[in-house]
Amino acid sequence: MEPRRERGVSMHRLLAALKAVAEPTRLRILYLCAHAELSVSDLTQVLGQSQPRVSRHLKLLTDAGLLDRFREGAFAFYRLAGDGASASLAGTLVDLVPLDDSLAQRDLRRLAAIKAERAQAAADYFRANAGSWDVIRRMHIADSEVERAILACLPSGELGDVLDLGTGTGRMLELVAGRASRLVGIDRSREMLAVARAKLERTNARGWQVRLGDVHALPLPYESFDVALMHQVLHFLKDPEEALAEAARVLRPGGLLVVADFARHEVEGLRDEHAHVWLGFADQEVEAWLRKAGLTCSSIEHLAGDPLTVTLWSAERGQRRAIRDRRSPARLREAS
Each residue's pLDDT tens digit, 78-122: 989 877 677 888 888 899 999 889 999 999 999 989 888 877 775
Residue 4 pLDDT > 50, yes or no?
no
Quote the distance between the C-alpha of residue 54 and its chain's center.
26
CA distance 200 to 119: 10
Task: Please state which of the ranges 13-27, 73-87, 101-115, 178-192 shows the lowest mean pLDDT.
Answer: 73-87
Q: Find, among 285, 291, 281, the residue nearest to 257 by Cα.
A: 291
Helix or strand holding residue 254 (H, E): strand 251-262
Q: In the chain, which segments carry CATH 1.10.10.10?
A: 11-111
pLDDT score of 191? 84
Quick count: other Cβ atoms within 10 Å of Cβ 189?
14
Q: Calculate the alpha carbon distances from 295 to 310, 328, 333 in Å.
A: 21, 22, 26
Please give the average per-residue pLDDT across 7-22, as a whole number. Answer: 80
Helix, strand or coil, per DSSP, at residue 312: strand
Specify the pairing of strand 251-262 against strand 310-317: antiparallel
Is residue 45 within 8 Å of residue 59, measured between CB atoms? no
pLDDT at 278 over 80: yes
Would you say residue 125 has pLDDT above 60? no
What residue ranges of the chain are covered by domains with CATH 3.40.50.150? 139-335
Q: Domain 11-111: which CATH class? A: mainly alpha
H/E segment holding residue 27: helix 24-33
Burial 36-46 (b: 16+ CB within 10 A, else e): bbbbbebbbbb
Question: Does 274 or 45 have the greater pLDDT score?
Answer: 45
Grade residue 135 by pLDDT with cuts at 50, 70 and 90: low
CA 3 to chain centre: 36
Q: How far is Cα 248 from Cα 291, in angstroms, rounded to an integer?
A: 10
Report d(CA 335, CA 327) in Å as an integer.
10
Q: How much is the pTM?
A: 0.70
DSSP 214: B
Answer CATH for 139-335 from 3.40.50.150, 3.30.2350.10, 1.10.150.120, 3.40.640.10: 3.40.50.150
Omega into 307 within 30° of 0, i.e. cis? yes
Of 317, 299, 166, 300, the closest CA to residue 243 belongs to 166
Residues 238-242: contacts with CB under 8 Å, at least 24 apart: 238/277, 240/278, 240/281, 240/286, 240/289, 241/289, 241/292, 241/293, 242/216, 242/326
Question: What interhelical angle do 283-292 and 240-250 show, nearest 10?
Answer: 40
Q: What is the pLDDT of residue 122?
A: 58
* Dist CA 256 CA 242 (whole Å): 17
Distance CA 124, CA 118 (A): 10
Question: How many Cα atoms sit within 13 Å of 1 on the Cβ side?
Answer: 3
Contact 165, 136 (CB under 8 A): no
